[in-house]
Structure 1
Amino acid sequence: MSAHVQPDRFHFLHIDLNSFFASVEQQLHPEYRGRPLAVVPTMADTTSCIAASYEAKRLGIKTGTQVGEAKRICPDIILIAGNHTEYAKYSHEIAKAVELACPVSHTPSIDEMVCELIGREQEPPRARRIALEIKQSIYKNVGEALRCSIGMAPNRYLAKIASDMQKPDGLIGLLPSQLPRAIAHLELRDLPGVGARTELRLNKKGITTMEQLLALDRNGMRTLFDSVWGDRMYHWLRGVQTEDTTGNNVAQAVQKSLGHSHVLAPEHRSPEGSWAVAHKLLHKAAMRLRMEHFYTGSLSVTIRYQLTREQAEARAAHGKVKQHYSGIKNSGWGMEARFRDCQDTLTLLEILRSLWAQRPQGAEFQKPFFVGITLRDLIPEDEHQPELFANPNNRADLSATMDKLNLKYGHTTLHFAGMLPARESAPTRIAFTQIPVQYGVDYM
């Protein structure tokens, strides 16, 4: 299908919330507006900024900038430990505000939403009016410090590209008649799905500019990416809709896993402290498992250990040193256990304890700084085959009672004693591709 015979209509609006975490903080604290601000996971110079206000971005501080470097660039920068419960609340409130103007059809991440236009809504003047109504609805109903950029396009892939073309508070439309010349000036990295590794691979094949990429025919694109992805991208960049226009190739499948991970605070970077945090992570994961009506048949634990300079140098000689985004050089360990599907906390805790006992020992494994717990092989409750004989210890009833109290009074109200030292640690964090859900009075 040729892009030139397509009607000039917009099928999708992609809403990108600008510097979302930082903007929420400026909404909550009017005194921070107009000032350089960064949201950080912990108050440590070795960690990295997870969001920066536009005032900070203009100085060169962005997501991923090390906190110590951000302070060097701007000694007066405001640093705030992330409040992920508030970010989740604001994301939900913004979605409600968007819905007043146009239904949200898809939520790719906590700071993105997609609206699919139908009928006469697709006409460019009407689509633009809807986009402006969305902006006004967010401003009026949620907060004046919250801004968004909106991309309008004939498919979701291009709509996402358009949303990044003008920030902050942008509104860009890409019509079929303008394509692909309207995006010829972009960089390869501006394409969703093209990261550093993909760009390097394209460069090695002689493609270094967008013009070179767009000059390829359909077969050339497929050969370049060595997959159907190239074929899809050829059509997307010309405004054509294909069966999958997500731009991120996410499988629309049943959920396969859930879990939590945490970079340990300095006071918990010990065998005892890391166990307490792992215990809490399991407590949260097991509760989510039941709230989302799953059983699990697999549990895995991951630990990363900080290395001293001497240990890192010794390992580097054998090419075995990993580096965390915070700059910490580390070694890692992980193990998985498979078992008959269950969902109660006590059984899962016993499994975790058996895995934990097998963690490595020695000088290089005395300072854990990261712990992750993942439950896999999820089975929907209605597909679970109950045991012939009921559990004599009433573990399911115990978990149900814990859930009832924790939903009412907070997720750490009732718990097993092992997590007590880390009761206030490992708060809810946001993975950009997953928005925490409110269960009872808290978010997870």
Structure 2
Amino acid sequence: MFVGIDLAWNDRARTGLAALDDDGRLAASTSVRSNTEIDTWLDTNTSSVPKVIAVDAPLIVTNPDGQRPCERMVTAAFGRYDAGCHASNTSKPYFNPPRAQVLADRRGWNPDPGSNGSGVCLEVYPHPAMVGLFRLGRILPYKGKRGRTVEVRRTATLDLLDRMEDLDQLDVAENERWQQLRRAADEATRPMHLEGIEDEIDAIFCAYLAWSWRHRREDLQVYGDIISGYIVAPPPPTHATTPRVPRNAPRASGDAHHPSHVSVSFSVSGQPATFATAGERAWRDVVEQAAAEAMNGRPTLQGRLSVQVDFVTAQRHGKHPGWDLDNLIKPTIDALTPVIGPREGQWRHAQPDDERVDEIVAKKRPAEADEQPGARIVVLEIAAHTSGTTGHSSPMSCSGSGATTLH
């Protein structure tokens, strides 16, 4: 059994709990508040001492002020992806001692990451772990933060759930509780709807990190040490970051259907194809279908747009020349009509309104072992729609193997 805990700093806030079986499948999850509720759930859902427990909360804090060394290390590795750490120190009452340390002592768990026995308790941090494992260009904005609309958070939460469903070990497709979480995210219209599920989702992800610590150790490493504190996260990433939307960029005015910075994200399964090749039509069809399913009947996005595409291509064999990134982009953008709407005018075939796309950030990489080719696509409103305006020139940034930057 492997356990994940998104531990609140006190018993007034929600704590997420999750357990995976030895094969990494989701067995149970919930959210509670009090220490008694935590212990009761653990006693009920873990028949023996868990092999590994991954806790999203400071576990070892000895410094009187400032950041712990491990927090500085993680920030140095992941800060450019917006996945830096807050400061933990003993001047803050809730870290003197940390609630995670008290929990580990109460349960008899061992905080030494070098131990190979059962009951190993690790401190983890989901944001950098997601950046590393999912190769994100920036953290998913599913947490409550000033300026984030419910729609932005809802879209990001569904994006996270999609990515977690791609982790085959979790095997959540038919899990009843998982489907309840997905429905809650899909139907969320107020911040409280998302806040009621985010801790549990984080706990499930933490449980996956606990399972990975035993079965995919190469995906993780220890930042820091057991004396001054440590955080378990993926190795420092080398993939490109996603550019931030400038703070002074014009924002959409926002209404019931189009709050500012609305985004749509979805995954596509299939072999990406380049422009004017035999596979182009099939690729456009699967992208268009995935885009339509992601919109689920909602109005198309308005205003000026940014498109981010992460391609995963099949492994090259023999003398296959590979796929040019710039030629992968065009058929993909051309299939986004369900998201960005059709272009006005008389056309033999419907054309997407891609004149409103002012920024494209694209990456490609070959599929890893047992990984299926496809793409991850995010479309973001970056400025309000103004009738009668014309497009303005913006860079189209493309990174990856054989990357190209077009101006």
Query: Structure 1-normalised TM-score?
Result: 0.23
Q: Which has the larger radius of gyration?
A: 1
TM-score normalised according to structure 2 size: 0.24
